Amino acid sequence: MSVEPFDVVDLIRTKRDRGTLSTPQIDWLVDAYTRGYVADEQMSAMAMAIFLNGMEREEIRDLTLAMIASGERMEFSSLSKPTTDKHSTGGVGDKITLPLAPLVASFGVAVPQLSGRGLGHTGGTLDKLESIPGWRARLSNDEMLAQLDAVGAVICAAGSGLAPADGKLYALRDITGTVECIPLIASSIMSKKIAEGTASLVLDVKFGSGAFLKDPAQSRELAETMVRLGTDAGVSTVALLTNMNVPLGFAIGNANEVRESVEVLAGGGPADVVELTVALAREMLALAGQLDADVEGHLRDGKAMDAWRAMISAQGGDPDAELPVAREQHVVTADRDGVLVEQQALPFGIAAWRLGAGRARKEDPVQHAAGIDLHAKPGDRVRAGEPLFTLSADEPARFDRALEALEGAYRIGDEGDEVLDGGPLIADRIA
């Protein structure tokens, strides 16, 4: 039986007392936890010590690299195209990956988008795409490479071999109240993205009511930390700070968000979804060496739509198939004339979740037809009796709890009242 080089209790005490862990200590800790030598209760204590006391830049870098080293790294050097990727910290109505990946791919750039499923009020990209009949999320590495070569865009599930230490630690954080910790969030996201092997990365870091971190200052700190981690690892990384006080677009759910994404790819769609899709596409293409790409032109002339259809078809989906529609609907109307001055993202996300669009546990199924369609956004004039939003569900019993979540979440005011939308959609760029 080999002798371990460190004692985990000593390392926990170091972080508890606001000390700094060395590179060998962090490398050993992550490896020992991955192979089961460090117990869950010990790693829980370490996560709480980090949550309370933070980590130095070098510690965060070492933690990220140690999690990458716990598994495999993907390799795209065989492709004839440059690679670029995007990650969003998640929000309400955030379907941007769906139009963005094929849009960027339409310029001859490869987009290996490893995505996840929704949990709680934030939707999952894979859940949305599984609304499309036949589409499959699981691809082998060989299938992924072949699709990137032929089509340019892949949106699929990450394999268990990428940063397995992160998967184990994230599950632990989820049940110990240590999720909202910038060093742990940053290392979790970036370990998977760096292991993914892409040459460049654009981060969409959200703040506001429906965001993971609501405080703009915390979101900025997270963005700066992740940009540094990417840069230190040799991945060209840029972040946009974006507003999630109001839902993105008019659709919140799964199938309805796919419909809205197709509208964007057809040259239409909601202004905010188009604005963010175009901004992120420009950043991704610039990092891939295309500084003057006519992004809006590829939405207008059908090139982005062609890439979407090819991407969906390559993964077994039928881009022409009818998407599911819920059996029941409940329309909420305006009770007076005026201006919609408030529409908080988080309650609408929770309401869609309660309708069946999301899941409380990773094992739960989602109802692809469930969700919310908004008919007005903050700043719009409304008239008494006009629809404000429509709830959709397969089980009408779900409507009451969804409506409970929406009490006080929206407000109609008078002309001239302040519109509470949190300001511009894109607040800043961090590079």
Cite the active site residues: 87, 166, 173, 188, 192
Q: In what order do the strands lie in the sheet with 338-343?
A: 381-382, 338-343, 410-413
Number of Cβ within a 10 Å radius of residue 327: 13
228 phi, psi to nearest 5 deg? -65, -45
- CB–CB of 182/222 below 8 Å? yes
Give burial (CB, 10 Å; 0-12/13-18/19+) of 423.
Answer: exposed
The first and second tokens of residue 273, run together, are: 């979804």
For residue 291, what are the contacts with CB-CB under 8 A and spacing of at least 6? 285
Collapsing DSSP states into helix, strand and coil, what is residue 56? coil
Specify the amino acid at residue 349: G
- CB–CB of 282/293 below 8 Å? yes
CA 325 – CA 322 distance, rounded (Å)? 9
CA atoms within 13 A on the CB side of 212: 23
